[in-house]
Amino acid sequence: MAEIMYWEALRRAHDEEMANDPLVIVMGEDIGVAGGTYKATQGLFDKYGPERVIDTPISENGYTGLGIGASFLGVRPIIEIMSVNFAWLAMDQLFNSAAKVRYMSGGQLQAPVVVRSAGGTAHQLGAQHSARMEKVFMGIAGLRVVTPSNPRQAYGLLKSAVRCNDPVYINEHELMYNLKGEVPDEEYFHPLVGSEVAREGSDVSLFGYNISVHWCLQAAETLSKQFGIEAEVIDLYALSPIDRAGIVSSVRKTHRAVVVEEAEAPVGVGAEVIAIINEECFFELDTAPQRVSAVNVPIPYNHTLEKAAIPNAGDVVERVRRMFGK
C-alpha cells in the first residue's frame, strides 16, 4: 500500500474513472486549468481536455442542473461544489431532480451523478463558509450520502459512487485534504453502505463520521490510558442509507453510546443514531445515550470563539468520563 494524501486519493480516483469510461466528466469552479481549490483534479485538464474537465461559471444551481441533465442521457458527471455552503443554491436541482427522477419516471430515467463538496469548520472562514450540512442531505429520499474519514475511503468511495446508478453526495472536510493514509496499490472500490470499526472496545461505543472519527480515536486512547475505559469507535462513513445493523451491533456489545459530530445537535446525525439505538436496543442500555456536538450558533470568525463553538477530543473524554462517574 502507498501512503498518500486525501486529495491525492481523490485525484487518483478521478483519473482512473475518467480513463475507464469516456462518459465520466468533471465539472466545477476552478477545477480545470487551476486544478481545483483542493487539488483533487490537478493535472486532469491537460490530460483529458476542456470537454471532459469543465471549468464552470460561479453558478452552482446552473452547472449542477447541467450535470444532472447530462446524467439522464448516460453521462456520469462528477460535480465539485467548492464549498458546501454554496450547495444551498444547487439543492433544487439535486433534491427535486436527481434524487426523484427514477421514482417519478417509473424507472425510465436515472441520475448517475456524483456531487462532491467540502464542508466543516476550517480556520476562521466565518459563518458563511463553515457549514456542516450533512444532516440536510441525509434526509432526502433517493440520494446516497457518504463521508470519507481517510484517504482509503476517499479513493474507494469516489470510485464506487461514479459507477453507481443512483445520485451520490460525497461530504468531505476542508481540514482533511492533507491527511495522509494508506491506499491500496490495486484498484479498490469501497462499499457505499455500511460502517467500519475503527477501534475495537468493550465499554462504550463512540460513533463519528469524517473528522469526528479522529476525535473519537484520540479520545479512546486517552480514556484507555487514564481511566481504563476501552471505547469502541465506529466510523459512520455512510450516512444515507445509515448502517442501522452496525450501530445496533456495537451498542449491544458495549451497552453505552456517545455520538460525536461537528455539526449542531438539533435534527442531526446524532439524533438519528440515538433514535435507532432507542428503537432497537433500549433495554440493553446501561445509561442514556449522549451527544457531543457544536454549540447551536453561527460559527464565529474570531479564533477563540470559533474553537469554543466546535467540539474536540477533550469534550468526548469529558462526556464519557462523566458517563462512568470518573
CATH number for the domain harbouring residue 266: 3.40.50.920
Average pLDDT in the chain:
96
| Entry pTM | 0.96
162 and 245, same domain (yes or no): no
Task: Please give the order of strands across the beta sheet that includes 204-208.
Answer: 196-199, 231-235, 204-208, 257-264, 290-294
Residue 125: what pLDDT? 86
State the total domains in the chain: 2
- Residues with a catalytic annotation lie at 60, 129
Provide, rounded to the nearest whole percent, the portion of the chain with pLDDT above 90.
Answer: 95
Domain end point (choices 131, 148, 183): 183
Domain assignment of residue 189, yes or no: no
Q: How confident is the model at residue 200 (pLDDT cuts 50, 70, 90)?
A: very high
Residue 98: what pLDDT? 97
Q: How confident is the model at residue 319 (pLDDT cuts 50, 70, 90)?
A: very high
307 and 243, same domain (yes or no): yes
Angle between helices 151-163 and 6-20 (to 10 degrees): 20
**Residue 212's domain spans which residues?**
196-323
106 and 164, same domain (yes or no): yes
Residue 62: what pLDDT? 96
Domain end point (choices 153, 183, 213): 183
Residue 131: what pLDDT? 87
User: Mean pLDDT over residues 198-214, rounded?
Assistant: 98
Q: How confident is the model at residue 92 (pLDDT cuts 50, 70, 90)?
A: very high
User: Mean pLDDT over residues 75-84, rounded?
Assistant: 96
φ, ψ of residue 259 to 5 degrees: the values are -105, 130
Residue 1: what pLDDT? 83
User: Mean pLDDT over residues 252-263, rounded?
Assistant: 97
157 and 9, same domain (yes or no): yes
119 and 150, same domain (yes or no): yes
176 and 200, same domain (yes or no): no
Domain assignment of residue 25, yes or no: yes
240 and 289, same domain (yes or no): yes
Domain assignment of residue 191, yes or no: no
Tens-digit pLDDT profile for residues 273-300:
999 999 999 999 999 999 999 999 999 9
Residue 69: what pLDDT? 97
- The alpha helices in 116-179, defined as continuous H runs, are 134-137, 151-163
User: Mean pLDDT over residues 4-8, rounded?
Assistant: 97
282 and 319, same domain (yes or no): yes
Tens-digit pLDDT profile for residues 115-140:
999 999 988 888 888 889 999 999 99
Domain assignment of residue 100, yes or no: yes
The three-state secondary structure class of 119 is strand
127 and 6, same domain (yes or no): yes
Residue 226: what pLDDT? 96
148 and 62, same domain (yes or no): yes
302 and 173, same domain (yes or no): no
Higher pLDDT, 166 or 2: 166
pLDDT tops 90 at residue 235: yes
Find the angle CA(129)-CA(130)-CA(133) to the nearest 5 degrees: 110
Q: 78 has which bridge partners?
A: 26, 114
Tens-digit pLDDT profile for residues 145-165:
999 999 999 999 999 999 999
Provide, rounded to the nearest whole percent, the portion of the chain with pLDDT above 70.
Answer: 100
pLDDT tops 90 at residue 259: yes
CB 55 within 8 A of CB 31: yes
Instruction: State the CATH number of the domain containing residue 112.
Output: 3.40.50.970
φ, ψ of residue 315 to 5 degrees: the values are -65, -35
Tens-digit pLDDT profile for residues 50-78:
999 999 999 999 999 999 999 999 999 99
15 and 67, same domain (yes or no): yes
Residue 33: what pLDDT? 94
Dist CA 227 CA 225 (whole Å): 6
φ, ψ of residue 168 to 5 degrees: the values are -125, 130
